[in-house]
Amino acid sequence: MDGYQRRTEKKKEQIRNSAFELFSIYGVEKVSIAEIAKKAKVSPVTIYNYFGSKEDLLKEVLSDFMNKELESYQELLNSDLPFPKKVEKTIFEKREAAKAFNAEFLKSITDPFLKEFINDFTNNKAIPMLMDLIEQGRKEGYVNKNISTEAIIIYIHTFSEAIQRSELLTNYNIDILLDLTNLFFYGLQGQSMEKEA
């Protein structure tokens, strides 16, 4: 990659980062190309030249964000951490990622193509990775072999959605979040997770 290409990529990254920040704070509809350009310190024409339209820029922003998240989860999945620690990190990292998207941002994604893009990413990339994690847990003896993978995915999804609700957790400290993780793993009986024989 020559100097010109590196500068171009750097500008594109600046634009994507600026757009992501503004979209996540104000929602897509309330942010103009001019505002993104000002934040990214480029001209609006540069944005149109690189991305074509605000909708195409949004697609790139979402794709970039989701692919980075996927890489992070893949690294975690391939790490030597024990299964309970992998699940704990998955839940908390998902919560951190969710902070980047406020309700306005999510509500403003109304384009059917974008919704399909997000659904496709979830169904064909994120869920298979989650199923790999569950299978690792089964092989290590942490996951009850009698509980279906589908039920476990629903359970993790429900738990993850709950801890992403800012109105529930804004005033809670890390100790409460750790208690919730213990509840997730050990249930109300408080018994520590043991490998199945």
- 17 vs 31, 60, 159, CA distance in Å? 14, 11, 29
pTM: 0.67
Alpha helices, DSSP H only, in 27-100? Answer: 33-40, 44-51, 54-78, 83-99
The two tokens of residue 43 are 């001209």
Instruction: Domain 1-52: state its class.
Output: mainly alpha
Comparing 14-18, 75-79, 104-108, the range with the smallest average pLDDT is 104-108
Tens of pLDDT, residue by residue over 168-193, are 555 555 567 667 766 766 666 554 44
Q: What are the sequence ranges of the domains in the chain?
A: 1-52, 54-197
| pLDDT at residue 47 is higher than 80 | yes
46-65 burial string, b = 16+ CB within 10 Å, else e? Answer: bbeebbeebeebbbbbbebb
Q: How far apart are the C-alpha atoms of 197 and 192, rounded to whole Å?
A: 15
Range 54-197 has CATH code 1.10.357.10: yes
